Amino acid sequence: MMALLPKPESRTVTAIYHAYESAADDGFRPHLGASLIGKECERALWYDFHWVTRSQFAGRILRLFQTGHLEEPRLVADLRRIGVTVMDLNPQSGRQWQVKAHGGHFGGSLDAVAMGVPEAPKTWHVCEFKTHNAKSFKALVDKGVEEAKPQHYAQMQIYMHLFEMERALYLSVCKDSEELYAERVCVDHDLAQRLLEKAGRIIFSPHPPVRLHEDPSWWQCKLCDHHAICHEGAFAEINCRTCLHSTAEADGRWSCAQHQIVLSAPAQKQGCNQHLYIPDLVPGKQTDVDPVAGVVTYQFPGGGLWRNGSEGSQCGAPAVDTLNEKEA
């Protein structure tokens, strides 16, 4: 029996996916997001903050991300339909409610704040809206948000703590069935303070924390966006945040010791031709430093030497074959 060939993907669908990919940004946030602080691996969070890995998602996944954003105004409308007062924008700024800490290096945006929730109509709530597939939704219903979605739980704790509210409303929808799930969460100021301390450790540390697991096949490591950097010896992106000259200052600024300037977010992404990698981001052993020439020399496991910063054009990552060639 002749096997059927897979049906080719529609050119229309391909074009739509490509349009999403073309419009996508690099995923580099200026701050460490409260939505991420519940992530177990502090090293991954340090990598997030230092822009070591550029986000590259397929068009279908990018469209899936957009689905979550499109659901938010619908959930706001659902709450208003039952008489809840929902403020999805700050009336003073006309933008989303925002919280910040550590000079602005850490923070996030609330989906909304609400009063009149049926379970506690006189209490203001931080609102967090999420979408789930059927498997994720079942786990949420069975276990509750704290156990099933610890990152979402941590995010709400930060928002309540910094916004000085005592309750949060977690309202989610199953994308497969349109079933809704609501859970009220109580503030835990001690947990929130520990999360803020965790954020400070990550933001102001000059070195990445230890790996969550040394085994690259560990399930959390396999799913991590930074797997290639952390476990495979790949090179980080070239920008100011991966450069040893830059520092996250306590007042929320980024400074450059090489040029003696404050770095704007666009400047941080652009970098300069005097970029030198933070040594922890180079998959080799530092063997020499020439501060006058602005050159740092590394030896790679295969025996090859690489001078980071030599001849200007070599400030970035070396070619792959350089890693296995020893200089004369």
pLDDT tens readout for residues 67-126:
888 999 999 999 999 999 999 999 999 999 999 999 999 999 999 999 999 999 999 999
User: What residues have CB less than 8 Å from 184, skipping those under 6 apart?
Assistant: 117, 119, 120, 125, 167, 168, 169, 170
Whether 326 has a pLDDT exceeding 50, the answer reads: no
**Average pLDDT of span 219-234:** 94
The angle, 0 to 180 degrees and rounded to 10, between the axes of the packed helices 11-23 and 59-81 is 80
**Average pLDDT of span 317-327:** 42
Whether 17 has a pLDDT exceeding 70, the answer reads: yes
Per-residue HEC secondary structure of 111-175 comes to CEEEECECCECCCCEEEEEEEECHHHHHHHHHHCHHHHCHHHHHHHHHHHHHHCCCEEEEEEEEC
User: Model-level pTM?
Assistant: 0.89
Residue 104 backbone class (left: φ over 0; alpha: ψ -120 to 50; beta: rest): left
pLDDT tens readout for residues 268-316:
999 999 999 999 999 999 999 998 889 999 999 888 899 998 654 345 5
CATH of domain 17-204: 3.90.320.10
pLDDT tens readout for residues 70-83:
999 999 999 999 99
Domain boundaries, the chain: 17-204, 238-324
**Percent of the chain scored above 70 by pLDDT?**
92
What confidence score (pLDDT) does residue 68 get? Answer: 85
